Structure 1
């Protein structure tokens, strides 16, 4: 499943979002995405809520450039599929 499709799937399931964000893996991902203080993530999340997932996809792609980030995203992906 493509990253944008996964994001849309997650958006449609609020329980899944809560479970992911409160899990240890979700917390680690959140920490990686908010290294700038969270401003960029807030903007990307607001855009995603309106249907534009490009910014959040870009942020996740940047996280996945590191080995730790890639492993974390793949682990979370396995949990939701």
Structure 2
């Protein structure tokens, strides 16, 4: 297995883990809201669910950035001063 195939597999795993975290976080958050868990347990469920969604979204963006390949210059300074 060459280096490109290894990195592609790693990016796919990272993207899969991010989707799993988002779905699991949404399920935990919805369970906390629908089942009307109160007190410490309800707050912990909501916090953990929202935290998983945020971490999953970050990992998804990170995986998409890696998948994109080499960075392109998106901003260049003005050439008027030459």
TM-score normalised over the length of structure 2: 0.29
Larger radius of gyration: 2
Q: Which protein has greater RCO, CA pairs closer than 8 Å, 6+ apart?
A: 2
